[in-house]
Amino acid sequence: MALTQSGSTRDHWSSRSAFILAAIGSAVGLGNLWRFPAEAGANGGGAFVLFYIGCVILIGLPVLLSETLIGRHGQASAPESVRRVASASRASSHWDILASVGVLSAFLILSFYCVVGGWVLYYVGVFFADIFQSGLSGGAFAGQSAEHIEGLFPEMIGSAAWTVGLDALFLGITLFFVARGVSGGIEIVAKWLMPAFFILLVAITIYGMFGGAFTQTMSYLFTFEPEKLTGEVMLAAVGQAFFSLSLGVAGMVTYGSYVGRNVNLASTSAIIASADTAVALLAGLCIFPIVFSAGLAAGAGPGLLFESLPHAFQEMPGGALIGLAFFIMVGFAALTSSVALLEVPTAWVIDRFRIVRPLSAILVASGAMVLGALAAMSTNTLADWHPLNFIPIFEGQGFFDVLDGLTAKFFMPIGAILTAIFVGWVADRKLIDMENGIGGLLHLTWLFLVRFLCPVALLAIMVVGIFPDLLA
């Protein structure tokens, strides 16, 4: 425990490595596993990868450092941390709107993210049960047709009982760790699950190198095709770099508030961004050798994880065991992210209403469960309900997709844009210099990026998200 500016005790990370693992866990999620590899392969291969890495360095990393330094200085929930930085900078306390938008984003994302986490739990159970039928050495789903395997996912999401029940289970697991606090719960998840995640990711990647279509995967992901880097593709890379680091949801502000003064935020942020990028690249080398070796086409989104891959595991020696290990790995990534998403609004409730942590976490999780149930039923019972049908970009979308669209196209970019403007133009320069851990030319470069490039790039993401026909 440490003493905050208000004189109260506040839980902190036990070490720099604990913070790094927790922050990586917050950033690494399902988007790294099912979106980036397919985006890279379809949009220029190596050219896309290089452009994406540039976006991480020039846009993602500066905003990541900005969010973290706000939290470390404020030593409180995200809105309160912004107010403290604003007060020290003699600026309006209303700048806390940037963090409030982030808290709302985290809450809404948590609501539908746990639905997907429930889908992952379903497949952990499916492959665990299949081991008893197929054994450890044979392929998964022995004697079953491809249609049956690929039909498991539509059948599951078509059932309200399955989707709502699994959502509640995954949210309950998330709640258990957040309610235990930073050092007693969240840090335990980070210290144990993130190393396990990396071990499984590397192990399955090595397995794919020798047992899958690795050469085809390397060609798919890294063939240099700069002619495919259109304006639309470049903007997609910017967006992927932004969303992959979980910026704009006040997560790094909140996690930064538990960081001690002895931690260099600049180098730590660089490690977090590098690890997140490495996971995105390894995910492609892990997944596509398995998919290609089964003669299946590359794809993105839930279909890749929950339909193509289970079918591909049928063709592999030891497919049942590899499939189980793979979905356990995905579950670890989903849980570390959901824990961060729940922690953001929980920390706000604790600070705002002075409610003890366990009750605060329960209250937030209860609200997320209500929205999550609606999102879960948007694939079955409420499939014909389109709540924002009167808005063109949400026309025909169910509640799940509406929550996803609102956060990705509006709230997250707005929160990140305001963060960049606040840190770049409003916050006191001496305060920023004290917190960010860099100096000289590197500091001037970071300040330029935060002031100019980041707001413009993030604004472009938001505008194109709202008006997709602009790049048609």
Separation of alpha carbons 63 and 85, rounded Å = 16
Query: What's the CA gap between 297 and 288, in Å, rounded?
Result: 9
- Name the β-bridge partners of 431: none
What are the tens digits of pLDDT across the range 255-314?
999 999 889 999 999 999 999 999 999 998 998 888 888 888 777 678 888 988 898 888
- Angle at alpha carbon of residue 351, lines to 348 and 357, rounded to 5°: 80
Task: Enter the DSSP assignment of 408.
Answer: I
What is the rounded distance in angstroms from the CA atom of residue 124 to the CA atom of residue 324?
6
Report the Cα–Cα distance between both ends of the chain, in Å, rounded. 54
> Can you read off the two tokens belonging to residue 76?
């409180």
Which residues have C-beta within 8 Å of that of residue 469, sequence separation ≥ 6?
A: none
The pLDDT of residue 6 is: 41
Tens-digit pLDDT profile for residues 204-217: 999 888 877 889 88
Measured in residues, the chain has a length of: 472
pLDDT at 9 (0 to 100): 64
Domain parsing of the chain, residue ranges: 2-471
pLDDT tens figures, 400-423:
999 999 999 999 999 999 999 999
Tell how strand 9-10 and strand 2-3 pair up.
antiparallel
Mean pLDDT per 10-residue interval, the chain, length 472 residues: 49 94 93 81 83 94 97 96 97 96 98 97 94 74 87 96 98 98 94 96 90 86 85 85 91 96 93 94 90 79 86 85 94 96 97 96 98 98 96 94 94 96 96 89 95 95 86 66
| DSSP code, position 210 | H
Query: Do 415 and 426 meet the contact criterion of CB atoms below 8 Å apart?
Result: no
For residue 1, the SS3 value is: coil
**What CA–CA distances, in Å, run from 158 to 50, 245, 338, 381, 383?**
40, 31, 23, 8, 9
Among the listed residues 430, 86, 20, the one whose alpha carbon sits nearest the alpha carbon of residue 265: 20
Q: Look-up: residue for tokens 């003890």?
A: 356
Architecture, CATH, for domain 2-471? Up-down Bundle (1.20)
Cβ neighbours for 440, distance < 8 A, ≥ 6 positions apart = none
Count of other CB atoms within 10 angstroms of residue 137: 10
pLDDT given for residue 137 in this prediction: 64
Hunting for tokens 């699950």 — which residue is that? 193
Tokens for 386, please give them.
């389109």
247 DSSP assignment? T
